[in-house]
Amino acid sequence: MEQILLARNLLQSLYMDQKIEHYILDIIEATRYPSQFNLSEIIPYIQYGGSPRASIFLAQTSKCHALLNNRAYVIPEDVRAVCNDVLRHRIGLSFEAEAENVSSEDVITTILNKIQVP
């Protein structure tokens, strides 16, 4: 139990630059408002995007990934590494996406390839 509390405190102290925070927010916003990010090709596939909680969990999971890679700070690669796992079930796909065999991972990959990395 003591190790879990220590790890939790360590995670809270991990550094995340404001640019990384904005990067995470852009990713989540792109799931909700793809046209604002020149992602019109995925508009027909998204029924609903990630919630504000998605951004919180993406930030926390990115910190965990950084810690597991022996870093006291988060880099964009941490965000990208965990993004599919965090957002996969937080994006509601449309019937059109199902009909065209477009997965949530496909949508997330398209977003990650379009959003500017800090």
**Domain total in the chain:** 1
Is residue 9 predicted with pLDDT exceeding 90? no
Q: 83-118 in b/e burial notation, b at 16+ Cβ within 10 A?
A: beebbeebbebeeebeeeebebeebbebbbebbeee
* Chain-centre distance for alpha carbon 71: 19
The range of the structural domain enclosing residue 50 comes to 2-114
> What residues are paired with 26 via a beta bridge?
none
The CATH number linked to 30 is: 1.10.8.80
Q: For 36-85, write each residue's pLDDT tens digit.
A: 999 999 999 999 999 999 999 999 999 999 999 999 999 999 999 999 99
- Note the pTM of the prediction, 2 decimals: 0.91
Is residue 108 predicted with pLDDT exceeding 90? yes
